[in-house]
Amino acid sequence: MEIISQYGDVLLFLAVVFGLFMAWGVGANDVANAMGTSVGSGAITIKQAIIIAVIFEFAGAILAGGEVTATIRKGILDTEIFTDSPHLLVYGMLASLLSAGIWLMIASSYGWPVSTTHSIVGAIVGFGAVGVGVDAVAWDKVGNIAMSWVISPILAGSIAFVLFRSLQNLIIDTKHPFENAKKYVPFYMFLVGFVISLVTIFKGLKHVGLNFDMGTSYMLAIGFGIVVALVGTIVIRRIQVDPNEDEDFHFTSMERIFSVLMIITAAAMAFAHGSNDVANAIGPLAAIYGVIESGGMIGAKSVLPVWVLLIGGGGIVFGLVTYGHKVIATIGTGITQLTPSRGFAATLAAAATVVIASGTGLPVSTTQVLVGAVLGVGLARGLAALDTRVINKIFLSWLVTLPAGAIMSIVFFFILKSLFGA
């Protein structure tokens, strides 16, 4: 308690700086999940992607990120262990924010799409197990997260494979792809509206205290899906075949129809991502703020001031603008060549996986889900469509993420202990 009262302001200042750094890392690396397929497919430019992401990521973080106030991210640590030594929890959360932020900076510089969730989880597990004690970690939670490494990319890839196969059979590999696109795309638009609204309800709206029962959630999603399909149909009817445009690539006019879809999915996924993944930066920051403001009391929840959300949202946007282009390039063009129709299949599959995961309680990484979905689309076109060198690097970076976060977190934890006292 003495350390908290003596160094509280300094520790809170460090928490703000490290939290902003971590949020920057989330923006630099993770926002590619929402934007990579749209940019890589040519549906929108990198500048347009940044504008869409700035608006919707920030809106998601500020409007729907407020309930992510659990003192420990995803209940990975047993808070009761820190009752007599709250300063250790503060050191650990500071160490976790700094180590996860550094790992995200390293990964982003190489264009590796890694999981920001796993980065912070690895960091918290590291300081908890070594710095405090093995009993401090809820190992069953860690086991679930490890299990999601395998399940979520496979699930997303399978859905993307089936989705793109249906597009090939109904639209792309037919005699009249443009006419068939106009005919069938409204049904896919309904799917987009339905799935994306479910993502927002499950992952976003619950953070502003709007909790709907399962029946109401699905009815709202169906209603939103119908609205999107109707609006989309009106827009699609205005798109006409341009023979000059189709000279080099027979499907150019058809792909313009899918470009409309990609903008909708990009905006909606950015909102859902901002509302959910801002927690990776502000969860530990909220924990530190709660301990310091209460004078060292450990609580299961901490009141979250608006400025903490602003730090999270602002950091995410800043990270995307300054450094996000490298990971966007990997997701959008590195794994396989994307067109708007392929990008649409990948994004919708990723969103559907997030919905399934939310309903079953499976902890998933949006990064791994989207990479899996892009792989699924590539496989639907044959193994030759995939760049295996890029894929191998991505898989290796996933394996390194947890131990990298853990090792750095342990080092920083002991440095903080020596600086401020045990």
Distance CA 178, CA 172 (A): 8
For residue 412, is pLDDT > 90?
A: yes
207 compared with 16, residue with greater pLDDT: 16
As beta bridge partners, residue 70 has 301
Tokens, residue 134: 């093995």
Burial group, residue 15, by CB count within 10 angstroms (0-12, 13-18, 19+)? buried
Whether the predicted pLDDT of 74 surpasses 60: no
Q: Is the dihedral of CA 357, 363, 366, 368 positive or negative?
A: negative
Q: How many helices (H) and strands (E) does the chain have?
A: 15, 0
Question: Residue 303: pLDDT above 80?
Answer: no
CA distances from 344 to 170, 242, 258, 272 (A): 15, 22, 7, 17
Question: How many domains in the chain?
Answer: 1
Residue 385 within any structural domain of the chain: no
Position 186, amino acid: P
With a cut of 60, say whether residue 68 has pLDDT above it.
Answer: no
Vertex 331: Cα angle to 314 and 246 (nearest 5): 115
User: Using alpha carbons only, what angle is made at residue 23 by residues 21 and 29, rounded to the nearest 5 degrees?
Assistant: 100
Q: Is residue 239 part of a domain?
A: yes
Which 8-state DSSP code applies to residue 402? Answer: H
**Structural domain contains residue 166:** no
Q: Cα(316)–Cα(332) distance, rounded to whole angstroms?
A: 20
3-class DSSP assignment, residue 137: strand
Question: How high is the pLDDT of residue 254?
Answer: 77
Note the pLDDT tens digit of each residue in 382-405.
777 788 888 888 888 888 888 899
Q: Residue 250: what pLDDT? A: 54
Q: What's the pLDDT at 158?
A: 93
d(Cα 167, Cα 188) in Å, to the nearest integer? 9
Does the residue 294 lie in any domain? yes
Average pLDDT on 262-285 reads 76
- How confident is the model over 232-273, as pLDDT tens digits? 888 888 877 776 665 555 567 778 788 877 887 777 777 767
Residue 369 belongs to a domain: no
Of 15-29, 146-160, 236-250, minimum mean pLDDT range: 236-250
Q: Any bridge partners for residue 137, and if so which?
A: 77
115 in a structural domain: yes
Rounded-to-integer distance, Cα 228 and Cα 390, Å: 35
What are 327-337's pLDDT values in tens digits? 887 777 777 77
pLDDT at residue 219, rounded to an integer: 92
Q: Are 62 and 275 in contact (CB under 8 A)?
A: no
Q: Has residue 169 been placed in a domain?
A: no
pLDDT in tens, 177-189: 888 888 888 888 8
Q: Report the distance separating Cα 32 and Cα 365, nearest Å.
A: 13
| CA angle (170 as vertex; 234, 162 as ends), nearest 5 | 110
At residue 227 the predicted structure's pLDDT band, cuts being 50, 70 and 90, is: very high
Residue where the block lists tokens 């264009």: 111
Q: Are 68 and 308 in contact (CB under 8 A)?
A: no
Please answer whether residues 303 and 2 qualify as being in contact, where contact means their C-beta atoms are separated by less than 8 angstroms.
Answer: no
pLDDT at 362 over 70: no
* pLDDT recorded at residue 209: 63
Identity at 160, one-letter amino acid code:
A
Share of the chain above pLDDT 70, in %: 87
| Structural domain contains residue 287 | yes
Residue with more model confidence, 196 or 13? 13
Name residues whose C-beta falls within 8 Å of residue 81's C-beta, 6 or more positions apart in sequence. Answer: 132, 133, 135, 136
| Tokens (6 digits) for 282 | 């502000």
Q: How far is Cα 214 from Cα 268, in angstroms, rounded to an integer?
A: 20
- pLDDT for residue 4 is more than 80: no
